């Protein structure tokens, strides 16, 4: 098992997508999506960004080192003017 | 199972079976005195392998929904790893084939040794591809 944990399965299920649908949307096979979710395969940086873009999340919200705690939800963003 | 997994499995089994028969018969001829026409047998092996591969892939394609999809990054990584291992097996096999000349074998034997090296390297490549699939599934 790879040391990079991820929330891909939770985010996919929250959107009611199947593994095949997610794979088709980002150019991966269903088997590869299953392997990513089970931490048997670490996706490339490009695939990680594709997944993050599809789910409208940042990469570090989806993928983290297994020892690191899950990221806190962001209350504000520095790139929004006036905040 | 994906289409490429089934394809690799078919290639491995068919090559091992067809060339296993060819080289076993060759050894029986060489050391057992059994009648054997190497040209006819090799031609028969190539034709048999082609027929098995074509028919097998038609059947596999009929049972796989992902047959038209290109290989993704994970399958390409498996393929790179398998090709690397297969390359080293081919190099060792080629050197071993050259060594047969120094062991008193003749030119046809050298040809058969080169063919054995190619078959062994290709079988290794398919086997490594299948193992990589199993370890990362």
* Contacts A–B by Cβ distance under 8 A: 32
pLDDT of residue B39: 85
- In this prediction, residues A71-75 reach a mean pLDDT of 63
Given the candidates 1.10.260.40, 1.10.3720.10, 3.30.360.10, 3.30.300.20, the CATH classification of the domain at A4-61 is 1.10.260.40
Query: To the nearest whole angstrom, how far is the Cα of B7 from the nearest Cα of chain A?
Result: 16
* Below-70 pLDDT ranges, chain B: 136-137
Q: For residues A32 and A40, is the Cβ–Cβ distance under 8 A?
A: no
Domain ranges of chain A: 4-61
Beta partners for residue A64, in sequence order: A5
Domain ranges of chain B: 3-135
3-class SS letters over chain B? CCHHHHHHHHHHHHHHHHHHHHHHHHHHHHHHCCCCCHHHHHHHHHHHHHHHHHHHHHHHHHCCCCCCCCCCHHHHHHHHHHHHHHHHHHHHHHHHHHHHHHCCCCHHHHHHHHHHHHHHHHHHHHHHHHHHHHHCC
pTM for this predicted structure: 0.79
pLDDT of residue A81: 55
pLDDT in tens, A5-17: 888 999 999 999 9
Chain A residues near residue B73 by CB distance under 8 angstroms: 28, 32, 43-44, 46-47
Q: What is the ipTM of this complex?
A: 0.71
């Amino acid at each position: 098992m790879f040391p990079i944990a991820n929330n891909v399965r939770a985010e996919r299920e929250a959107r009611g997508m199947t593994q095949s649908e997610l794979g088709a949307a980002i150019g991966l096979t269903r088997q590869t999506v299953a392997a990513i979710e089970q931490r048997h395969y670490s996706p490339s940086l490009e695939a990680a960004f594709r997944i993050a873009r599809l789910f409208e999340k940042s990469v570090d919200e989806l993928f983290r080192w297994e020892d690191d705690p899950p990221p806190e939800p962001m209350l504000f963003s520095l790139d929004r003017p006036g905040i | 199972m994906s289409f490429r997994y089934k394809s690799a499995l078919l290639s491995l089994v068919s090559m091992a079976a067809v060339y296993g028969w060819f080289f076993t018969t060759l050894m029986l001829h060489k050391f057992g005195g059994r009648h054997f026409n190497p040209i006819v047998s090799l031609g028969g092996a190539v034709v048999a392998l082609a027929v098995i591969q074509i028919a097998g892939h038609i059947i596999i394609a009929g049972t796989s929904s992902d047959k038209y999809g290109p290989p993704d990054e994970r399958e390409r990584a498996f393929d790179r790893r398998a090709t690397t291992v297969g390359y080293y097996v081919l190099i060792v096999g080629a050197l071993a084939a050259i060594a047969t000349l120094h062991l008193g074998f003749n030119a046809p034997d050298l040809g058969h040794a080169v063919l054995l090296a190619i078959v062994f390297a290709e079988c290794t490549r398919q086997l490594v591809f299948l193992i990589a699939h199993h370890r990362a599934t």
